[in-house]
Amino acid sequence: MGCFSAGAPAAPALVDDKKVVGINEATVTIANYWPYATTLFDYIRRAMPWTEPRSLSNDEVYALTAYILAQNKLIDTDATINAQTLPKVQMPNRNGFITRFPERTPPNNRGAGMRDGFAAF
């Protein structure tokens, strides 16, 4: 399943079970790379649909987030996703990151961050 429409730049597949190959960004997907499920909510709320960003209600974004996570087999199809349950979703690549500047990062914040300091698998 992709995120697509005529005239839109190439949109990545939202459901994909491919494995990451080295640091080839073309193999990165929501399921194999994103460390936090909350980022999926935040991304959809801010940027999607691409043609009408910020047009979705929070409930619609929770429902879409749940659907995409379930289609990627990261949660059960009958799981309830809301502000309490979403942060508890454990993404497969949660610990796949290195802290780029550990000397500048408070101890309890090491390992955070996305697309910066691309994880070395």
* Distances 117 to 21, 82, 97, 100 between C-alpha atoms, Å: 16, 29, 7, 5
Q: Does 79 bind ligand HEM (CB under 6 A)?
A: no
Structure tokens at 110: 């090491």
The footprint of ligand HEM on residues 35-74 (CB under 6 A) is 40, 43-44, 48-51, 64
Give the nearest distance from C-beta 44 to ligand HEM in angstroms: 5
Residues 20, 32: contact at Cβ < 8 Å? yes
How many chain residues interact with ligand HEM (CB under 6 A)?
A: 16
Q: Does 96 bind ligand HEM (CB under 6 A)?
A: no
Q: Does 1 bind ligand HEM (CB under 6 A)?
A: no
Q: Which long-range contacts (CB under 8 A, 24 or more apart) does 74-82 make?
A: 74/31, 74/37
Q: Does 24 bind ligand HEM (CB under 6 A)?
A: no
Give the nearest distance from C-beta 17 to ligand HEM in angstroms: 13
**C-alpha–C-alpha distance, residues 57 and 75, integer Å:** 22
Judged by the rule CB under 6 A, the positions of this chain that interact with ligand HEM are 3, 5, 8-9, 11-12, 14, 30, 40, 43-44, 48-51, 64
